[in-house]
Amino acid sequence: MHYPLYQIELPQQPESVAFVNGFLTRDFAGQGYSIVSLSTFRDIPWNAPFYSKLRFSPVDETELTTGFQQIRLKENAAGLSILDRVMMHRVL
């Protein structure tokens, strides 16, 4: 199963990475999810670079599913530049 993650809000501390890794493994994988995905800002340190520390990987533009494409359209309609955003996922 696939779970779209909408937001994680944590202080930028080393223990935050360990907390989120445990949360993803325990709560999502434990419920049968195999992939967690999100859309975030590409270059803001507490966005894509932070998620990379959590073992999220960018999804290549050519591999965007219909769901990812719909998220892109909604973000664009809300005034968020597609060039500033990146889709990411983590296999659990």
Pairing of strands 2-4, 35-41: parallel
pTM (2 d.p.)? 0.78
Residue numbers of the domain that contains 40: 2-91
Model confidence pLDDT, tens digit, residues 29-81: 788 888 888 899 999 988 899 889 888 999 998 998 898 899 889 999 999 99
Domain count, the chain: 1
Pairing of strands 85-91, 57-58: antiparallel
pLDDT over threshold 70, residue 9:
no
